């Protein structure tokens, strides 16, 4: 299934996927609501998803997959590689993220990888994922260090744990 708002790109993707013997092209949609209606009815195995377009974009589509309990392997194909978009796509369940400027060979490799259950990232997306992982690891390390620096009070005897007496 292809979900892409730009007609010419959607038509090229449909032609490409239709020509691949290992895939059956089941649907195409130009809007999120249209795509979700189709995905609910057809339950495709693989979706090539544009990330940014009117009507909620890729994030809204991924939320819809969860709401409808549709398990599909999603490859996001996007013009941009902002870390926030990549994080949202991965958090939403996408298995891959590829720039629209990628070569046809890279797109085919990404599609086959995601369809086979793997994860795939184009060069810019992979670099963004690496930066995010390093930043997350650094944040975790800082939190752990802060936790180690907190004062620890350990009771030493019964008098430390008993409530104060009033005289």
| Residue among 120, 140, 138, 131 nearest 83 (CA) | 131
What's the pLDDT tens digit per position in 47-86?
999 999 877 789 999 999 999 999 999 999 999 888 899 9
6-10: long-range contacts, CB 8 A cutoff, minimum separation 24: 6/50, 6/53, 9/50, 9/100
What's the pLDDT tens digit per position in 95-110?
999 999 999 999 999 9
Predicted TM-score (pTM) of the model is: 0.79
Q: Looking at the predicted structure, is the pLDDT value of residue 1 above 70?
A: yes
pLDDT of amino acid 129: 84
Q: Looking at the predicted structure, is the pLDDT value of residue 153 above 60?
A: no
CATH number for the domain whose boundaries are 2-149: 3.40.50.2300
> How far apart are the C-alpha atoms of 6 and 8, rounded to whole Å?
6
**123-136 average pLDDT score:** 83
Q: C-alpha angle 134/96/6, rounded to 5°?
A: 125
Q: Looking at the predicted structure, is the pLDDT value of residue 43 above 80?
A: yes
**131-154 average pLDDT score:** 63
Beta strands in the chain (DSSP E): 2-3, 28-29, 46-50, 73-78, 96-99, 120-121
Q: Sketch the domain layout of the chain as residue ranges.
A: 2-149
């Amino acid at each position: 299934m292809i979900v892409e708002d730009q007609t010419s790109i959607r038509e090229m993707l449909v032609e490409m996927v239709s020509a691949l013997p290992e895939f059956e092209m089941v649907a195409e949609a130009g809007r999120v609501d249209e795509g979700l209606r189709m995905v609910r009815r057809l339950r495709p195995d693989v979706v090539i998803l544009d990330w940014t377009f009117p009507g909620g974009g890729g994030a809204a589509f991924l939320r819809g997959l969860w709401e409808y309990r549709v398990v599909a392997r999603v490859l996001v194909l996007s013009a941009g590689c902002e870390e926030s978009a990549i994080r949202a796509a991965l958090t939403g369940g996408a298995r891959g993220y590829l720039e629209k400027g990628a070569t046809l060979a890279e797109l085919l490799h990404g599609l086959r990888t995601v369809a086979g259950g793997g994860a795939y990232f184009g060069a810019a997306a992979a670099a963004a994922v690496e930066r995010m992982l390093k930043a997350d690891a650094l944040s975790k390390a800082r939190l752990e260090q802060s936790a180690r620096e907190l004062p620890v009070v350990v009771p030493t005897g019964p008098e430390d744990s008993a409530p104060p007496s009033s005289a």
